[in-house]
Amino acid sequence: MALKRVLRIDDPVDLKVLKTVSRPVKFPNRELKSLVNEMFATMQNGCGVGLAAIQVGVPLQIIVIEIPPTYEKLADGTEKEVAPAVPYVFINPKIVQISRDEVMRLEGCLSLPNWYGQVPRAKWVTVEYQDLSGKPRRLRKADDLLGWALQHEIDHLKGIVFTERLPDPTTLRDYSNEPLPNTAERMEAVGA
């Protein structure tokens, strides 16, 4: 399975594509499963949590998200996986309900590697979408990392990049030569 090149916010030619509003996917679609598999591989290769098809140059309303596994530290210092990674595929997603409460989080993006800034997002969202077969689905009150990643990736489908959501652009920093502030924020800040 081939990895795709992730378009970059800091490249003017790539940014023009990233600012494109994505088209709905029409069913049946024989290439959909292959594209989704390539998107997962590309996202995992970049150590991301989410990826929108437009980020690999495909202007279709497709999002993949993978919530990382959860580990527990044991008394001997080793870690044990207590919950596996959870993959999600959202075709033609729409936010249909949104929390009034917002949470400020350190947010990054695979289209701007190692750069993070403080972005406000709704505490939870309800999303209607289609699965890989085209069947309508609804995910109610997605919160925490899943809810945040959904908002970030749905923005991509609308041609919005996370740097446009920064209320204070001075919070955007390059963390390539330093660790993120703390472990809790690191889990929330994984690039999407």
Q: Which residues are catalytic?
A: 153
Whether the CA torsion 178, 184, 187, 188 is positive or negative: it is negative
User: Phi then psi for 72, rounded to 5 degrees?
Assistant: -120, 135
Is the CB of residue 120 less than 8 Å from the CB of residue 165? yes
Total residue length of the chain: 192
Torsion sign, CA atoms 9, 11, 15, 17: negative
Dihedral of the CA atoms 86, 83, 107, 44 (nearest 10)?
-50
d(CA 4, CA 24): 21
Bridge partners (DSSP) listed for residue 129? 137
Tokens found for residue 3: 């990895």
Structure tokens at 153: 């990736």
